Structures are given as structure tokens and as C-alpha cells.
A and B are shown apart, each in its own frame.
Chain A
Amino acid sequence: MLDRIGAASLEDLFDEIPESLRITSLPGVPDALPEMDVARLAGTRASADGRPLNFIGAGAYEHHIPAPVWALVTRGEIYSAYTPYQAEASQGTLQIMYEYQSMIAGLTAMDVSNASLYDGASALAEACLMAVRAHRRSKSARVLVPATVNPTWRRVAGVMTEGQGLRMETLPYDAATGRLDPASLARLAGEDVTAIVVQQPNFFGQLEDVDAVMRWARANGALVVAAVNPVALALIAPPGEWGDGGADIAVGDAQPFGVPLSSGGPYVGFMACRMEHVRQMPGRIAGRTVDTEGKPGFTLTLQAREQHIRRAKATSNICTNQGLLMSAATIHLALLGPAGLERVARACVARTAELVSALTRLPGVKSAFTGPRFHEAVIRLERPVAPVLEALAAAGIVGGCDIGGDYPELGHALLVCATETRTQADIGTYARALGSVLGRAAAQEA
């Protein structure tokens, strides 16, 4: 093959890639192995995770996945990662996309959804870029992002947008409520701001005053990008119904619907928007139509936004969707139905309230913020979080996310989460283990 394309060697073929960008070995990944050895190695690595009792959320959430979800998704007719080329030949795939879009549009109360993006973090980045394209009167390309938005998502969005002239500015939060500080918005009144992002519930699990953000945005001519947890939407106002006409773009991660944690991915991002912005939306959209004989069918629509037609001026370099996981989310939601989803969401709220109350009964453990929350909470310890988490891990408990690195002002802060998968007994186990870890540490100091 090298002969055919006129390269003398593999080195010669890759010579335009700078030496500094080349990877010669992958740490922890062995050279080629026979299948039997690969299976054995993968099994060993997988079992190293164990089956810990999990109280960590921070963007990825453990939910019960009904058995039919993956039994159906892995059927040959559906089991593909991509939107197929000549998509209309795969009417079943397009119909799942169409149903998925209908569900996301319904959940978010937005006009139109795309057929999914890679994950929540990249969906946020795409939403910021989309807002800058859509808001033609604003010249600043300034996007306000509260510090209460998931820090990992903010980092991903920063990397994806920094080369494209977009200016992201972080807004502070209120130390008592853990919500966006309204005074920081008031100070920016009258300035040219293209868009503001608000996460609901926010990274700390607190519920933001989204109507106040909407009011400020409408008064100051900024678009609103809503980053939402889709499970929470069963209980709280969806972005399309937020004050002053609703958000312009809604994004999030649909991982809570049928997608296992899988050590961090792949997940599935969703994006929906108001109809007036649809031509600036990245990604694919499946539409329902009729064929030449008048029979109903599905088709990819609005493709002139996309890379294969629009080339360099496409809305995004994304030219597929997260097909497999989108299918899992669709089937999961179809099985739950609106009432089932609401039961899941209510159980999450109840379990998290029980968790916070059990943990804060321990000496030296306090809740960091007041006010309503969904299924996560920040608690404060009186000693460094990392060794406490290590001791809990030794007892088979993943005790939460150490957020002191991203929020040093919070001190020894731990973000905890309880979904419907945690029982009262699990919560009791965690509280007893934390009590004994903290007690041992205090005794060692005494």
C-alpha cells in the first residue's frame, strides 16, 4: 500500500505530523496479544473496579437500567454507532432518531431537537458557538458562564471554543446559596453580552433562579443556553417554560437514560432549541415526511447546515450522532414513560435529602449551602477530603467527588449524590463508614 501511494515507509507517510505530537507507546496498554489473553486481561482490569457502593454524581449518574433496554439496543437492526450513509435506507434507525427528538423536545419544552451529540460537555460547547452564530446583532461573542456550571464541562467548552474567537467569562456564585450571584449580573447590565449559560440543577445540586437569569438576559439582549439534567425535568420547569419566553438553546447529557457509567463514557449529549435558531443548530435532524406514494416515512432534514453540503461554513464539524446511546436513551424513556420518570426523579430527591441529613448528623460534617436542591449536595468536612475518600474506598464505598481543587474557597468540600438506586440501608452504611473514618482520624490526632 505504501508503494501505491508513493511513500517510502510508514515514517515517511506520517512525516508531516510533528515529532512532539506523536505517541510511541500507550501507558498500560500492552502490545498485540492473542484474543484469549486480551479477554483475560480485560476481565482482570474490569474486576479491578469492584462493585462499590456509589455516591458520586458530578455529571454522570447511576440509575437503574431496565433489562429490555440493552436487550433491544444490541439487536442487529439497531446495533450501530452511526447514522448510516444513505440514511433513508435505514428507516428504523431514522424512526428511533425521530422518536428520540420528540422525547427531548417534549422534556425540554423546546421546539426542535437534533438527533444527539457526543456528550453533555461538547453539547455545551456547541451551544455556545451556536449562540454566537444565532445572535447576529451582538458583536462581542461574549458568553457568561457561572462558576456553578460543571467545571469539566466548562473546561471542555473552553478548549473547543477558544480558537473560534469566543470569550467565555466566569461569573461568581453566592457563598450561602451556592447559586449564581445575582449582583454579578446586575453589574453587567447594558453591556454587549451574546449569551449566558445557566445549569439547572447546577453543579452543586442547587436549583438556580432561572427566571431571574431569563429576565436579565431579555432585558440585556443576551441569548440563554440552558444546561439541564434530563431526569430533573420531570419535576422542575423545563427550559422552554422558563420566564420571559423560555431559553433559546437547551443542552445536557442523556446518560441518565439507559447509559451505564462505563468509567466515564461514551455518553450522549442532547440539544434542543427554539425554531427560529434551527438553522444554526449543529448535528443531524430526522424528519417525518411522505414518499412519492403518500406513505409516511422518515428522512434527514435541514442538511444544508451540515458539513457534507456546507463544507467549511457548516454549523459544526459534527456529521453524525451518538446513535447507539441515543437508541438506549429512547428505549429507556419509552419504558419509563412520564409517570415512571417522575417516580425516579422523586426517589432521587428523597434519597439525597436522607443522605444529607444522615451525613450532617455526624460531628464535623456540614451542608455547604441552603436552599432547594435536586439529587446532589455539597458537604463540608473539617479535614482534607482525599484521605477520607481513600479510607471509604477501602470499605467499598465511593463517597463522592472531591471538589476542593475546582473550588478552593469551599475548603474541604465533597459533592455527594444519591439516585433511586441507593436504599436507606445503603445510606446508613455510608453514614456509619464516614463516622468511623472521621472518628479514627480524630482519635489519631488526639
Chain B
Amino acid sequence: MSQTPADLRYTKSHEWLRTLPDGTIEIGITDHAQQALGDLVFVEVPEAGRHLAAGDACAVVESVKAASDVYSPVAGEVTAGNPRLATEPELINRDPYGDGWIMRVKPAGGTATETLDAAAYEGVAAAGG
């Protein structure tokens, strides 16, 4: 059974969002997503300074059997990609909502992808979305 912390927001494409005290948004992939992908062997994170539009493919998670894009739910500037993922992609499997965060974005405002609360996301995940 996968975890879906109630204090985060989610997307239909299986990203989670956490608003940090300084207003930047931390983004990763959900426990449900990492379970579906299996053991991750490589993660490509965006470089700091990159400007993203909402919905841009901004990271790649690769397991032994699949590779998927991660989409930014918000527009803004990347302030950091998680440097530990370069050598420890398994952090996403082990701790998807903590050490396995993928990037932090300083939001620029404007349109964002529709986000869901934990209950609504669990519905999406359960429906096989």
C-alpha cells in the first residue's frame, strides 16, 4: 500500500508538491509512481537556473524496465536539483517524499497545472491513472 501524505499537493501525472517556508516549491514523484516504476537506476535532474513553464518535462526517472518524464506542475526557475540522485537514484524508492525530492522551483506565478489533495490523488492512483 503506497503512502500519500495529507500535507502535500499532487498531480495526475504523479508528482507531489511541497511549499517550503521561503515560498519555493519542492517537487518529487509519489510513492505510487516509484512502486510502479520499480528499482530506479538513473535520475536526470534539471540544472539550477533553468526556467520552466508549467507542464514542461524537466526530469527523467529511469528504472530497469522503464523511463518516464517528470513534469513541472508550476512555472518558475529551478533553484536546485537534488544532487544526491546522481549517485543514489534509489533514494526515490526509499524515501520518495523526503531524501528523494527531485527539484526545487521558485514559482513565477501564472498558470499552474491543476493539483489535487491527497484523497483526490489516491483516487487517481487507485483508478490506475
Q: For the complex, count residues of A whose C-beta is within 8 A of B.
A: 8
Residues from chain A with Cβ under 8 Å of B47 in the complex: 136-137
Residue of B nearest to A305 (CB): B67
Q: Nearest-CB distance from B57 to chain A (Å)? A: 8
Residues from chain A with Cβ under 8 Å of B64 in the complex: 304
Q: Establish whether residues B63 and A304, one from each chain, have CB atoms under 8 Å apart when the complex forms.
A: yes
CA of A191 to CA of B105, assembled, Å: 28
Q: Establish whether residues A304 and B69, one from each chain, have CB atoms under 8 Å apart when the complex forms.
A: no
Residue of A nearest to B63 (CB): A304
Q: For the complex, count residues of B whose C-beta is within 8 A of A.
A: 11
Q: Establish whether residues A309 and B65, one from each chain, have CB atoms under 8 Å apart when the complex forms.
A: yes
From A279, A309, A310, A313, B42 is in contact (CB under 8 Å) with A279
Interface centre among A279, A304, A313 (most CB of B within 10 A): A304
Q: Establish whether residues B66 and A304, one from each chain, have CB atoms under 8 Å apart when the complex forms.
A: yes
Q: B32-55: contact bitstring with A at CB < 8 Å (1 yes, 0 no)?
A: 000000000110100100000000
Whether B77 sits at the interface, judged by CB under 8 Å, is: no
Residues from chain A with Cβ under 8 Å of B65 in the complex: 304, 309
Q: Establish whether residues A279 and B44, one from each chain, have CB atoms under 8 Å apart when the complex forms.
A: yes
20 contacts between A and B (CB under 8 A): A136-B47, A137-B47, A279-B42, A279-B44, A279-B62, A304-B41, A304-B42, A304-B62, A304-B63, A304-B64, A304-B65, A304-B66, A304-B67, A305-B67, A309-B65, A309-B66, A309-B67, A310-B67, A313-B67, A313-B69
Q: Chain A at the B interface: mostly helix, strand, loop or mixed?
A: helix
CB within 8 Å of B: which A276-310 residues? 279, 304-305, 309-310
Q: Nearest-CB distance from A42 to chain B (Å)? A: 46
Residue of B nearest to A310 (CB): B67
Q: Footprint of A on B, CB under 8 Å?
A: 41-42, 44, 47, 62-67, 69
Residue of B nearest to A314 (CB): B67
> Assuming A304-B42, A304-B64, A304-B65, what are 15 further A-B pairs, CB within 8 angstroms?
A136-B47, A137-B47, A279-B42, A279-B44, A279-B62, A304-B41, A304-B62, A304-B63, A304-B67, A305-B67, A309-B65, A309-B66, A310-B67, A313-B67, A313-B69
Q: Which 8 A-B pairs have the closest CB atoms?
A: A304-B67, A304-B62, A310-B67, A309-B67, A309-B66, A136-B47, A279-B42, A304-B66
Residues from chain A with Cβ under 8 Å of B63 in the complex: 304
Q: Nearest-CB distance from A315 to chain B (Å)? A: 11
Q: How many A-B residue pairs have CB under 8 A?
A: 20
Residues from chain A with Cβ under 8 Å of B44 in the complex: 279
CA of A313 to CA of B60, assembled, Å: 11
Residues from chain A with Cβ under 8 Å of B69 in the complex: 313
CA of A305 to CA of B64, assembled, Å: 11
Residue of A nearest to B50 (CB): A136
Residues from chain A with Cβ under 8 Å of B66 in the complex: 304, 309
Q: Nearest-CB distance from B10 to chain A (Å)? A: 23
Q: Nearest-CB distance from B94 to chain A (Å)? A: 20
Residue of B nearest to A278 (CB): B42
CA of A80 to CA of B41, assembled, Å: 32
Residues from chain B with Cβ under 8 Å of A137 in the complex: 47
Q: Nearest-CB distance from A205 to chain B (Å)? A: 41
Residues from chain B with Cβ under 8 Å of A279 in the complex: 42, 44, 62
CB within 8 Å of B: which A88-137 residues? 136-137
CA of A407 to CA of B41, assembled, Å: 49
Q: Nearest-CB distance from B35 to chain A (Å)? A: 17
Residues from chain A with Cβ under 8 Å of B42 in the complex: 279, 304
CA of A136 to CA of B42, assembled, Å: 17
Residue of A nearest to B57 (CB): A313
CA of A248 to CA of B70, assembled, Å: 27
Residues from chain B with Cβ under 8 Å of A304 in the complex: 41-42, 62-67
CA of A313 to CA of B7, assembled, Å: 33
CA of A305 to CA of B66, assembled, Å: 9
CA of A32 to CA of B44, assembled, Å: 54
